[in-house]
Structure 1
Amino acid sequence: MFELDMRSRKPIYEQLVDKMKELIMNELLKTDEQLPSVRQLATELSINPNTIQKAYRELETQGFIYSVKGKGSFVNPNQKAIDKEKIVEMKKELEKLILEALYLGIPAQELISLIQDLDASKGGA
């Protein structure tokens, strides 16, 4: 499914959360698609099942997945309708990062180009 960097300073569960979010946002994992079981993924990635469980809990908290008792975890069908609060929160975080980048001397046009490149690579206008 994907690889994790065991030498990274970023905790494994955070790497897992980021990878799963990326797969969901790029629609490689489809709406209502069942995710691998905790044990299955732990075996596949050779990591502790508790780490997988922690990542799944975080994904559920963020609204990317939902779980059905006795059935497993699934991709949340309504990702397009994420809470407006999350969008506002994301904009605030972006604003902080942009201000920091500008403070560090990254030209505004370079940031704009980066956004346009990312948008183009995702199939945007």
Structure 2
Amino acid sequence: MEFKKNIPIYLQIMDKLKQDISLKVIEPGGKLMSTRELAVKLKVNPNTVSRVYRELESENIVFTKRGMGTFVVEDENILQNIKNNMANDIVVKFIRDMSNLNISPEEAIKMLKEIEEE
């Protein structure tokens, strides 16, 4: 995973895990890598991964079983909300970026439709 310099690493890791969870790359009820394993894989400090897991747990996306590890929740409503929130963030950023180019939402939609038809 390559990290962007202008976004905190822990947020980028959180987003990637949320994406993997919403796409069911990591299944509901599935076990996440240990803090140390993920830190080694991503070449980051284990404290960064610990923070990611704490944040995900505070958002009720994962839960920890003492001595067993960290697991993805199985609540489909929570999992659907993750996907909806991520999609909403993408749309908001898209609209903001288009607005910065003085392109109206209507023009942006027209452009999307044209691209989709190609």
Whether TM exceeds 0.5 here: the answer is yes
Query: Which has more helix, going by share of residues?
Result: 2
Q: Does 1:44 align with 2:47?
A: no
Secondary structure, in 3 states, of the residue corresponding to 1:74? strand
User: Unaligned regions of 5+ residues in structure 2, if any?
Assistant: none
Q: What's the CA shift string for 1:101-121, capped at 9, x where partnerless?
A: 57532321415738xx7xxxx
Contact 1:64 1:79 in 2 (8 A): no
Alignment partner of 1:107 is 2:93? no
For 1:57, the equivalent position in structure 2 comes to 54
CA distance in structure 2 between the aligned counterparts of 1:40 and 1:102, rounded to whole angstroms: 40
The answer to whether 1:27 aligns with 2:24 is: yes
Task: State the distance in 2 between where 1:9 and 1:98 align.
Answer: 18
Residue 67 of structure 1 aligns with which residue? 64
What stretches of structure 1 of length at least 5 have no aligned partner?
Answer: 118-125
Which fold has the larger relative contact order, with Cα–Cα distance below 8 Å and residues 6 or more apart in sequence?
2
Residue correspondences, number:
107
Q: TM-score, normalised by structure 1?
A: 0.67
Structure-1 separation of matches of 2:99 and 2:21: 33
The letter for the 2-side match of 1:80 is: N
Deviation string for 1:42-93 (max 9, x for gaps)? 11112110000001111111222111111111111114247x9xx89x97x7
Give, as a single letter, the amino acid of the residue that structure 1 aligns with 2:49: I
Q: Distance between the aligned counterparts of 1:97 and 1:14, measured in 2?
A: 16
Q: Is the 8 A contact 1:4 1:12 kept in 2?
A: no
| Aligned match of 2:2 | 4
Structure 1 runs of 4+ aligned residues shifted over 6 Å read 93-96
